[in-house]
Structure 1
Amino acid sequence: MNDTVTSKDGTIISYLKVGEGPGIIILHGAMESAWSHFELARALSDSFTVYLPDRRGRGRSGPYGPDFIIQKEVEDVDALLSKTDSHFVMGVSAGAIIALNASLELKAIHKAIIFEPPLMTDNLVSVDWVDRYDKEISAGKVAAALVTGMLGSQMGPPALHRMPRWFLIMMTKLMMTLEGPSDGSDGPIPMKVLAPTLHYDVQLILEFEDKQKDLVSTIGINVLLLGGSLSPPYLKAAVDRLEKTIPNAKRVEFAGFHHGATGNKNRGGHPETVASEIKSFLLAQV
């Protein structure tokens, strides 16, 4: 089922609803949408009502707006928690940064699941690539921008990073062509439509590191930290950092899984395995 909620500033947030039971909101990551975790939602649907919002700037949800900051997305979560009477939140990648901030502020959240937020830990990753990415987006060079973002964020298998850039751009153009003409308004959102949103997810990372990183030690709820053994080192280091900082944190690392572990199977996900850990955590009487 598809529905909407109105955030504090009047922005409309669209979301999918799957299952029955206590509510959990899953916040997708960069270059993703509500549909990116549909199979995870189905794997949880026998125990929970799962709400999959399209974060700002995607699908039927409203735009970021000129004054976009993390707080805007926290307010989106707050509106959805209130409407659905939910008390659990899961954040994936950039969505995990929002979930961390929401857990600091929103009393309605009783438990949180955090999957590999892209924190800038131990100088293992840089965002120097963002200027080039922004220029390529502005010039309409979407495939080039996507390659810049993939290489800069260290996504994809190691072999991709040894391939010539022209080849990666050519392959990205082919993938975009295969996605067809859809604008994502009634299903999965294609890469060419998602591409401009990456700028704002990097903005979330920078704002978190500047203002909120030292506050996570005050999170008072139980938190499940998830990650994959094959994920880039900076993401594993981010989970290490949170494990040492959040007082009531439990950590699970999935052997043989990478950063796409929570997603649909056609994107390399393992939704049933991830759902099993989430159920155990949320249903535990603590």
Structure 2
Amino acid sequence: MTNATETGHVTSADGTVIGYHRLGDGPALVVLHGQMESAQSHRQLAEALAGTHTVYLPDRRGRGLSGPYGAAHDSEREVEDLDAVLTATGAQWVFGVSVGALVALRAATALPAVRKVAVYEPPLFADGPAPTDWVARYEREMAAGRVAAALVTAMRAARMGPSVFRFMPRPLLEFLTGRMMAAQDGRAGPGDVTMRMLAPTLRHEARLVAELAQTQRDVRADALLLGGAKSPAYLKAALDALERVMPGARRVEFAGLDHGGSGNTDLGGEPDVVARELRRFFA
């Protein structure tokens, strides 16, 4: 086993470069990060899996090692990006998180290469379209250079963060978010992907969620559905809906974890706990 990281890249169907980190030994597993994340966000999960798997951590478009979004960016481009990684690596197993889980589910319906798929809390909306009323305010705040305010708008729309955030005055929440961003900027090293860098990706993530927000009914791959007991109710409902239309899928809820449960520990994740279930499923 080795935890040494190598980087590589593939070229997607439209010519965009998709970069990835690779570590470990064994059967190939692609980990597709979620919203406001990059490949780095699941480095510790990859380390926990490196003894049994060769783990590929692609940066989805618009961040890190990968190229920019195109003018026609949509869910099909995301599936093409994942397809390029699968083809180059020979991987047949995918673990997707949040928006990355939506992409993984769509890929599992479209790409025969996906034999097993595990997802952590895809933001599906089984009872109607995904909410988009927050996007206009987010766009105005981003255009005005108010990045912290835009992040608060998106976070509240997604009902993320500690429950106390829902009762905190918005100006205070914006101030604290700005302080957090400034501290992260100050300690960022070469190649790090910060909240400030990720903020512009949210407009594209909102489009993907709107496109993919209905329950996926045609997943033929073996599936594992994962979630946290402390996550928002609509994410638990999404897994309930998937469980109804994917009767062969296994469901695991992690006590004490929330939507960031699979990520690095500095952001509240418990990657070792999630890795145990992934090893069991991808055995």
TM-score range normalised by the length of the shorter chain: over 0.9
Of 161, 169, 191, 2:166 maps to 161
Matching residue of 1:90: 95
- The code of the aligned residue for 1:251 comes to R
5+ unaligned residues in a row in structure 2: which ranges?
1-5
Given that 1:217 and 1:245 are in contact with CA atoms closer than 8 Å, whether structure 2 keeps it comes out as yes
1:119-176 deviation line (CA, Å, top 9, x unaligned) = 1244697331111011111111101000111111100011011000000111111111
1:29 to 34, 43, 47: 34
RMSD over aligned CA atoms reads 1.5
Whether 1:251 and 2:261 are equivalent positions in the alignment is: no
Equivalent residue number for residue 194 of structure 1: 198
Partner of 2:271: 271
Q: Could you tell me which residue of structure 1 aligns to residue 3 of structure 2?
A: none
Paired position in structure 1 for 2:8: 3
Q: Aligned to 2:80, what secondary structure does the other structure show?
A: helix
Conservation of the 8 A alpha-carbon contact between 1:124 and 1:234: no
Distance 1:44 1:110, change over 3 A: same
Residues 10-89 of structure 1: pairs in structure 2 closer than 5 A: 10-89=15-94
Distance 2:13 2:65 in 1: 17
- Aligned to 1:194, the other structure's residue is in SS state helix
- CA apart distance, 1:26: 0.6
Instruction: Determine the C-alpha separation between the residues in 2 that align with 1:268 and 1:79.
Output: 31
2:79 aligned partner, one-letter code: V
Note if 1:144 corresponds to 2:111.
no
Q: Which amino acid aligns with 1:192?
A: R
Q: How does 1:179-218 map to 2 (within 5 A)?
A: 179-180=184-185, 186-187=191-192, 189-209=193-213, 213=214, 216-218=216-218
> Are 1:118 and 1:235, in contact at CA under 8 Å, matched by a contact in 2?
yes
Q: 1:221: Cα distance to partner? A: 1.3
Deviations 1:10-69 (A, max 9, x none): 000011001011111111000000000000000000000000011000012111100011
**Structure 2 Cα separation of the partners of residues 184 and 81 of structure 1:** 29
Q: Which amino acid aligns with 2:255?
A: A
Identity of aligned pairs, percent?
A: 48
Distance 1:184 1:93, change over 3 A: farther
Deviations 1:258-281 (A, max 9, x none): 111000000000111100000101
One-letter code of the match for 1:84?
Answer: T
How high is the TM-score relative to the length of structure 2? 0.95
Partner amino acid, structure 2, of 1:129: W
Shift of 1:185: 5.7
- One-letter code of the match for 2:142? I
TM-score (norm 1): 0.94
SS at match of 2:227: strand
**C-alpha separation between the residues in 1 aligned to 2:229 and 2:102?**
20
Letter of the aligned partner of 1:272 in structure 2? D
Q: Distance in 2 between matches of 1:204 and 1:185?
A: 29
| Change over 3 Å in CA distance of 1:133–1:251 after alignment to 2 | same
Deviation at 1:109, TM superposition (A): 0.9
The corresponding residue for 1:115 is 120
Assess if the C-alpha contact under 8 Å between 2:130 and 2:209 holds in 1: no
Whichever residue aligns with residue 46 of structure 2, its letter is: A
